[in-house]
Chain A
Amino acid sequence: MIRGHEAMISSQLLISGVIFGLSIGSIYFLLAIGLSLCFGLMRIISLDQLLYYSLGAYLTYTVTLMTGSMWIGVLAGMAFSGVASLAVERFIFRRIYARDPTFSMITSFGILIGGVGIIKYFWGVVPRPVEVPTLIQVGIFGTEIPVYRLIVVAIACVVYIAIWFFLHRTIVGKAIRAAIEDVEHVEGLGINVSRLFTITFVIAGALSGLAGGLHAPLIMVDPSMGLETLAFVFMVVIIGGLGSIKGTLISALVVGQVVSLGSIIYAPMAQMAPFVIMLLVLLIKPTGLYGSAVISR
């Protein structure tokens, strides 16, 4: 496909494509980890994570306009998403934990659609741009790469390590991992499971908000951005397997690269290729790469 005299340009294109894919994959990872954790612990499919993603992006937009600093905007978006998810968890999800996972999917889809309506009410339907905080470019193998994308990747790495430490080294995290295995036992040990649920949900919501805030400068912020990202996040979660953080990381990286490199080869393929990969994975393993075959509850 690549001819000899174009090799120089192509290698540059390739490197920037890989970096682009890494940054997209990082954002998908931040989003998918919330969905995956919520499913693992509470056995709910929380589509409203996409709402916190949009809210995070919009808050980033507004606060960036007000303060001039995009990083304060991202923090504000993250905080607001956390608060919003806390409210949703308290008033809605509390009532439906005991039900079937698909039940929560319908409810959370309702929250997502309603949230899109709220966003339209406050911010209107016009897409909004968010300025990139730093326009510095660095050279990697002779290719100019925007430093912002590298920062996004670094933040995702930090989040992965932090989540790993939280789950493996703190007592609350250990309780969460135990509850993923067997929630009744953990409850029997006298641990407040409903507080664990709240903590997990708020962490998931805040991470989705962070993903939205970080994604905002790379795209236009518009009300249906959550719905547009939905399919990709689903693919990431399904390829990786629901409830597995390691699987989510690997599949987020794969989907990011496929989207980015696919669009270099043939633009419409960027959307289709992850879907084909997902179908292939499901053909071989119906629960995704790292998903468990049985639900213990």
Chain B
Amino acid sequence: MTYITKPINHHPRLETNKLGLTRRDYEGAVSTLCAGCGHDSISAAIVEACFQLSIEAYRVAKLSGIGCSSKAPAYFLNQSHGFNSVHGRMPSIATGAAMANHELLYLGVSGDGDSASIGIGQFIHCARRQLNMTYFVENNGTYGLTKGQFSATNDLESKSKYGDENLFPAIDLPSMAIQLGASFVARSFSGDRDQLVPLIKAAMCHKGFSLLDIISPCVTFNNHNTSTKSYDYIREHNEALSKPDFVPLGKEITTSYEPGESSEVSLHDGSTLSLTKLALDYDPTDKIIAIKNIQESQRDGKVLTGLLYADPSAKDLKEILNITDQPLNTLTQEQLCPGKSALKDINDNLK
């Protein structure tokens, strides 16, 4: 994770957002990932989404585990605190952090090795606890930093760059997440910015556990013609469920659709994710249909992308645990310590 600061010079008339900030204000250090890496496109989409939503970067916490994907938080949002933890354990760090202060926006960046293998237990329990965070899986089906081993999301019989065949079936994280109770689950492709940016914006505004499983080809180890996670393969087999458009709170939906052609998901903060239906007749708030669609497209050799499932009314972990609205990390000693007077009863009860 080499650290190169970007030069600060930029064009004086760059577009600004509600906070008066430009896109450059949301950038991070220069990426040291391979040229053409899908992860860099995802970082750019995160920058774009934060810019468009006028997010205050210092109110964001970026968390990751270990691997190529986990380097990515260094490459966006310089003004945010980051935590590059240990392999597969980002969800537990995020859980503790989010309970300490539920007012920040938590972006977890993970990969397929980090989330589908070493950290699958933490991924599962984090989803099931409804932690309010946006969880990115930058999914390239391979272990890049250790030079090209198969990961658990690689498709059965897909071949490595060196000709080895993958002997085990892929773990599908979105299906798992839906079954576990995650309340916002989408899949996208790092090369489809038009789809990715609205999905990221909606995921960040959603309250509860949001999973974005983003196919992000590894140009060095998994972009050959026998791979099922290559740019060419995904472009050919991508079947988008819908064309999403994210409408923040207070803005009218301007795009008009014929009846039956669009559906809308209203998020808890009043913003809306408007979806133009493209391929399948589906209801993104129905778990069973969502899982059926995913399974069917897998059977047909397609990669289904778009918003797969959302439950905008779900409770998040803070509500489930009935934690105070005042963040726990701001409670003062007076609010926390019962003091000498309370000890009298406690001592008396133990006599």
Same complex for A and B? Answer no
Interface residues in chain A, defined as those with a beta carbon under 8 Å from any beta carbon in chain B: none
Q: Which residues of B contact A (CB under 8 A)?
A: none
